[in-house]
Structures are given as C-alpha cells and as structure tokens.
Amino acid sequence: MDYLADERKKAVFDVDSMKIVWAGSRQAFEVSDRISKLVAADPGFRKDDRPMLPRKELFRNTLRKAAYAWKRIIDLRLSEEEASRLRFYVDEIAYTDLHWGMFVPALKGQGTDEQQAKWLPLAYKMQIIGCYAQTELGHGSNVQGLETTATFDADKDEFVIHSPTLTSSKWWPGGLGKVSTHAVVYARLITDGKDHGVHGFIVQLRSLEDHTPLPGITVGDIGMKFGNGGYNTMDNGVLRFDHVRIPRNQMLMKVSQVTREGKYKQSDVPRQLVYGTMVFVRQQIVKDASCALSRAVCIATRYSAVRRQFGSQNGGSETQVIDYKTQQSRLFPLLASAYAFRFVGEWLEWLYKDVIQRLQANDFSTLPEAHACTAGLKSITTSITADGIEECRKLCGGHGYLCSSGLPELFAAYVPACTYEGDNTVLLLQVARFLMKTVSQLGSGKQPVGTTAYMGRLEHLMQSRCTAQRAEDWLKPSQVLEAFEARAAKMSVSCAQNLSKFSNPEEGFAELSADLVEAAVAHCQLIVVSKFIEKLQQDIPGEGVKQQLEALCGIYYLSLLHKHQGDFLATSYLTPKQAVLANDQLRALYAKVRPNAIALVDAFNYTDHYLGSILGRYDGNVYPKLYEAAWKEPLNESVVPDGYKEYIRPLLKQQLHSARL
C-alpha cells in the first residue's frame, strides 16, 4: 500500500519530466534509473546491517562489495558512465573512491604522456590500486608547509623519499591504511641542497605478490572515525618513509622535471594546467553536495508527510507535520538548495570544460576567477549540506536519531567534505583575496570577468536602491539579481576600504578575516542565485515543471535574503518594509510548493536501497517497518541480556558485595 499516494495526486507538474531535469538529460536519467534498480535488486549490495557491524567486519564487507562491484562492471561490460553510476548507487565509501577520484586524475593531470602510457592502463584495470598522499599529521590546508622530502641522488638517478619528523607522517589519505599498492606522494623536491617546493611522486607502497609493505615503509590505519558505519568503511591511513628510493622517472613531470644530471627545469607545459585537476575535483564535490542534501531532504519530506502530531478536531486525524509553517520554513529552503546546487554543479561542469580548452590554448585569463569560484562554491555547498543533513535529522524528531532513519550515517559520511580538498574557511579566505584584488584593479581599467563581471558596474551598484513596492516584485529576476549584486559589491568594497587603513596589508587581512569571509559568502551566494535564474531562462519541457522550479528558485533566494537580512539592510540596499515584503512572498511560495513537495523529492528518483532509510520509504509505510527493524537488533537475540547473572541479578538481590565486578 502507498501511504503517500494522496500526496502524489496533489502534484501539479509532470514528475517524469522533472526527473530528466534533475538528471541533466534523458540519457543520463535512463542510465541512472537502470543502474540504480540493478544495484537495489542485487542482494550482494545489501547495506541495512552496516551500522551494526564491528569495524573489522565492516571493512572486510566493504572489500567484498568493492570486488563484487568490479566483477559486475566487467561481467556486464559497463561503460565508464555506467560504472561510475554503479559505484554511486552501491553507496559504500571505499578505497575505490580515491583510486578513481584522486589517483587517476592526478596521473592524468600531472603525468607526462610516457608516464600516463605506463601507469594509466594498470590503474584502469585495477592491477594497481592508488591513493593520494598529500595531507600530513602536522599540515593539511598549508600544502607549502609539507615536510616529507624527495631528495635527488644523481649518482644513482633516484629520489630518496623520507619522513624527517613525526609530523611529516602522511595522515588521512583514504585507501592508504590497508589497501593501496601505490600512492601519488607529495613531497619537497630537493636537488643539490636546494628546495624546489612540493611536487608529486609515484611511489609503490606494498608488494604486488603478498601485499606486505615494501622496505622502509611503515603504513597502517589511523583508527575509528565519527559515527556508526559512515566513513569507517574507508581505511584512512598513516604512512612514514625511511629513505625509500624510487627511479627518477616516477616524479610526475608534466609541469616540471629533474634531468639525469640533476637539473631542475620547467617543461613547455604551463604550470597552470595543474589547476585543471583542482577545478575538476571541486566541481565533482559540488555535484556530490546536491546528491547528499537531496537524499536527506527526500527522507525528511516524506516522513514529514507521514508523521502526524496535534491538531485533531473532534476525533479526526491529527495534522501532518509538513503542514506546520515552522516545518516548511526549515525544510523547503533545503529542498530549494538541493535543486540550486544541482544546477550550479551543471554550470561548473561547463566551466571545467571551458577552463581546459582555454589552458590548452595557453589562455590563462579566466583561471584566477575559475579557481576562486570553484573554491568558494565547494565551501558554501558542503557547509550548507552538512548543516542541512543535521537539520533534516532534527526535522524527523526522535526517530531521526535512529540509525534506521539513514540520517546519522549520512551525516557522519558526508561531514568530512567540509575539510577535505580545502578547509571551508580557508577556501573562503582565498575567495576574499581574489575579491580584494579585483576591487583594487577596478581603477586600472581592467574589466572583471565571469562571476565577478558585476564588479564592473560598481558605481551603479553602490548607488542602487531596491524598488520593490509589493511582495510580488520579489519574483522579478532583475530585482533579485541586483539585490544580491549590490550586497556582494558593497561588502567587498567595505572590506577593501578597511584594509586600506592598515600599513601592513597582511596584518589587515588577518584582523579583518571574519568580515572578509562574510564578503566571500555573499559573492558565492550570488553565483548560485544567478545560475539558478539562468537555468530558468532555458527551455524546460514538461507540464508545470518550470513553474515549480521558479517557486523553488524564489524560496532559495528569499530564504537567503531573510537569513542575511542584516547585510541587505546594512548596505542600505533595501528598507525594513521591503524586507517584510520579501518575507511575505517567501511564505506565499511555501504554500505553492507544499502540495508538490512529495513529487519534488520523487523527482530525485532514489530507490529505497539507495536512501537506506525507513523514514524515507517510497510507500510511506514507516511504523510497521520501524517495529520490524527493532527486532533485528543484535541485543534482542536473547530475551535476558548477557551480563544479567554477573551484574543485574546481584544488584536486584542486594548481593553486590559477593559479585565479581
């Protein structure tokens, strides 16, 4: 029985068309739909017992699933896209994520043609398994502070990789602890006593015969991490080198090289090419944010429609929790954010391709802007998603705290994204530096490009004032864009003016860093809003689809305006009365989305297997399934608990003095 059938009948748009919009194309939808059902129907990919397994058993089960997934990929002759979707829907964080997501892109992005010809076929067939060993015990965000050394020995034509201090131990790389046979290791390149900074090296860690660590290598797992299941399926590792020798040709040499004579030189390939890999990884992280947030929102939305509390009149049904405005005001902005992040992720995919084309043509003009843009978007999307998953757990009340809700494990597995590939606050400070540089160059006639193009209209934006006189005026894209542009521009200019008062710019930057982060957030939120609005200017087929996306877009930007009302008022762009009008319009949009909420999360097209949540079941049959799941708890295998005779009975019988405690 479908307990959510009545909710689904309320929808005023074509859900199947929205599924295609969410997937990006009909072809992408068909691949995702087919592969997700294939995974869901395969008992080999069962995961409902994951939070109950001890770490060793959990990890062994992950190894089994990764091997089984690879077997299925080969047996079914899946394409690269299909294989990627299969790994996604298996939904098990594993060493393969780092192999395909970091090790292979590093080889492609930083290896020469000869190096790629040697190493990539082995990696593609998984005859070697790789990880990305950059972070150390003592340094994470400050890559230039890494301590591992790679000293060139000209007599033997080899590099000597060494960990000179305890803090130089590689610490955190996924896949390193127990599985990886090879790593791209980042170390300080030293030739003739001169330090050339951090470079990448391909280093074999374990024997390909019996998997034992090679001489000079100490390697292991760093221990349990936050939460049940979660990221504990991954073998995050510690690695130390004791004068480990590798051939010279295992330095990644696409950008810079060391000759046979020990001379360090730049290659003909521009150094900026390395940024291409960074843009690729960060755009993938933004897409992952939309997936994780949409998953949490799907669970919370369905359960909010199932759950009823209070409001019973004359013995009738209680009120659905989703009908409470307090629930809507917390839930619907997250639903809107999931769609917003999806569309900005699509745009980042285009940006990555554009950056690569430009780099190949030796055009570096858009690179600083692309770098700042991807850094900022990685930061705000992962922060909002991590906080949003936790908010969805709270929106599910007490039952959200159960592992069977799927939300605690989703949170534990997702939250590291706020730190890896750049700490979110550090990334926003990088964006702020770029914004300060952009403001400082405006007087020189250098026109800002891409997502900072609005800065070219600074004079107008500094003087502009909101013209909204009715609540509906906040539905006009031009009105909204100008509001977010004026806020971002004024906050950046204010920071620049305050910075100019310091004789030492770095001192000023440190002192004003909190304000600078806020200016960076304003700029990044503008990007997401503008890309959502741009998406709506495209031809979007399907009855009622565009209207629902317009409502979600409105909820996205008006909820931001409400949350950051102080910024908009402090920059004098709008009046308190106009802020009230914006809030009136936001409430009206909640009412418009409410009957379509279940259909909007159905459009994500997630199977019950992928969601991994009793609360988020497609059929809404929550309570019987929660009751059923309780009896699967290992504690319930015996009626009288282990330890009764030793600890409970002596307490009840007042015999603790003779108990063996």
| 153 within a domain of the structure (yes/no) | yes
Burial group, residue 625, by CB count within 10 angstroms (0-12, 13-18, 19+): middle
What is the spatial distance between Cα 610 and Cα 298, in angstroms, rounded to a whole number? Answer: 11
550-572 average pLDDT score: 96
Q: Within a domain: residue 247?
A: yes
Of 288, 340, 489, 520, give the one whose Cα is nearest residue 425: 520
Q: What is the mean pLDDT of the chain?
A: 94
Give the separation between CA 361 and CA 367, rounded to whole angstroms: 13
Which residues does 74 contact at the CB level (< 8 Å), separation at least 6? none
Residue 210: predicted pLDDT: 97
Active-site residue among 136, 147, 421, 550? Answer: 421
Percent of the chain residues topping a pLDDT of 70: 100
- Tell whether 221 is covered by a domain: yes
Q: How would residue 214 be classed by pLDDT, with cut points 50, 70 and 90?
A: very high
Residues whose CB is less than 8 angstroms from the CB of residue 1 and which lie 6 or more positions away in sequence, other chains included: 619, 621
- Which range has the worst mean pLDDT, 213-217, 225-229, 524-528? 225-229
User: For residues 69 and 76, what is the distance between their CA atoms, to the nearest angstrom?
Assistant: 10
| Mean pLDDT value across residues 304-308 | 95
**Would you say residue 208 lies in a domain?**
yes
Supply φ then ψ for residue 342, to 5 degrees. Answer: -60, -45
Distances in Å between the Cα of 83 and the Cα atoms of 62, 71, 557 are 17, 11, 36
Residue 268: the pLDDT is 76
Q: Which domain holds residue 116?
A: 103-269
Rounded CA-CA distance 135/146 in Å is: 8
Give rounded-to-5 percent helix, strand, coil for the chain: 60, 10, 30
Range with lowest mean pLDDT among 158-172, 429-443, 445-459, 571-585: 445-459
Whether residue 522 lies inside any domain: the answer is: no
pLDDT at 272 over 80: no
The answer to whether residue 497 is domain-embedded is no
SS (H, E, C) 302-354: HHHHHCECCCCCCCCCCCEHHHCHHHHHHHHHHHHHHHHHHHHHHHHHHHHHH
For 631, the token pair is 């009896």
Q: What is the CATH number of the domain that holds 245?
A: 2.40.110.10
Residue 199: name the closest of 157, 158, 247, 143 by CA. Answer: 143
What's phi and psi for 334, nearest 5 deg?
-70, -40
Whole-number pLDDT of residue 367? 84
The amino acid present at 217, given as its one-letter code, is I
Report whether 354 contacts 299 (CB < 8 A).
Answer: no
Q: Sorting pLDDT into bands at 50, 70 and 90, what band is 364?
A: confident
| All residues at 6 or more sequence positions from 146 whose CB lies less than 8 Å from its CB, including other chains | 134, 136, 139, 168, 186, 187, 188, 198
| Strand 158-162 versus strand 149-153 pairing type | antiparallel
pLDDT of residue 144: 87
The percent of residues in the chain predicted with pLDDT above 90, rounded, is: 87
Binding-site members for FAD are 135, 174
In this structure, the number of other CB atoms found within 10 A of the CB of residue 423 comes to 15
Looking at residue 206, the DSSP 8-state letter turns out to be B
What is the tally of structural domains in the chain?
1
The amino acid at residue 12 is V
Write out the binding residues.
135, 174
Of 496, 495, 446, 454, nearest to 478 by C-alpha is 454
pLDDT tens digit sequence for 150-188:
999 999 999 999 999 999 999 999 999 999 999 999 999
| CA–CA separation, 474 and 13 (whole Å) | 23
Residue 167 tokens, joined? 């803090």
The structure tokens listed for 546 are 């565009």
Q: Is residue 462 part of a domain?
A: no
Catalytic residue flag (residue 646): no
Residue 163 inside a domain? The answer is: yes
